[in-house]
Chain A
Amino acid sequence: AQRVTQPEKLLSVFKGAPVELKCNYSYSGSPELFWYVQYSRQRLQLLLRHISRESIKGFTADLNKGETSFHLKKPFAQEEDSAMYYCALSGGSYIPTFGRGTSLIVHP
């Protein structure tokens, strides 16, 4: 079975502070990992995926197979980063499994 754990329901930071949203997964094979974001009154959308190895809106995420983690990081948070962030895993069944989400609030 595949599982995604996002331990923090809420993360509150000030503008300019570093941000790390945690994601741990449980899957015995080679996972495909994603971060999705939902801004206020918008639909859920892809932020980044680990195979792309790219930085989107200043966010990066590195797959750590040893720690089974895929934490999302940004060195300097902006107010427009305030949103719900969901980590998702596609494993052997290829059915994406989502975590419960972390609400990021960036204060001015």
Chain B
Amino acid sequence: GAGVSQSPRYKVAKRGQDVALRCDPISGHVSLFWYQQALGQGPEFLTYFQNEAQLDKSGLPSDRFFAERPEGSVSTLKIQRTQQEDSAVYLCASSLASEGTGELFFGEGSRLTVL
């Protein structure tokens, strides 16, 4: 593809529902990052994958958040039992570099609204 693709672009969930957000990185990119961006704030780190290995998940706010990248390509961020405070834009970024020193290529984001 031409760039990082995220779906869905918009998701409205009722409190307590589970949601799954998908990220399709640029082909061949080793690193994949998930960020959470609340309104008026900068992107906050959630988790990092190098190929299929989740090397850092220190930013996940609770055990309701889970991410995977089983084949080292597409990644899914799952949020269980959504709460209103989970409302945010979830950004996925990929990089050719094996560490975060390279340029990050971002998707357009998935905007989650929890009612």
Contact = CB atoms under 8 A, between A and B. Distances in A.
A23 B107 CA distance: 24
B107 A43 contact: yes
A74 interface: no
A100 B39 CA distance: 10
Given A43-B107, A45-B106, A94-B99, 12 more contacts: A9-B40, A43-B3, A43-B4, A43-B108, A44-B43, A86-B43, A93-B100, A94-B100, A95-B33, A95-B100, A96-B45, A97-B45
**Chain B at the A interface: mostly helix, strand, loop or mixed?**
loop
A101 B4 CA distance: 22
Interface in A78-103: 86, 90, 93-101
A79 to B, nearest CB: 23
B41 interface: yes
Given A93-B56, A94-B99, A95-B48, A100 B104 contact: no
A6 B42 CA distance: 10
B109 A101 contact: no
A53 B93 CA distance: 24
Interface of B: 3-4, 33, 35, 40-45, 48, 56, 91, 93, 99-101, 103-109
A43 B106 contact: yes
A101 B42 contact: yes
Contacts of B93: 44
Interface residues of A, number: 22
Interface in A42-93: 43-46, 49, 86, 90, 93
Given A43-B108, A44-B91, A86-B42, A96 B33 contact: yes
A50 B7 CA distance: 32
B61 to A, nearest CB: 16
Contacts of A45: 105-106
A32 interface: yes
Contacts of B44: 98
A101 B56 CA distance: 24
B33 A32 contact: no
A21 B3 CA distance: 28
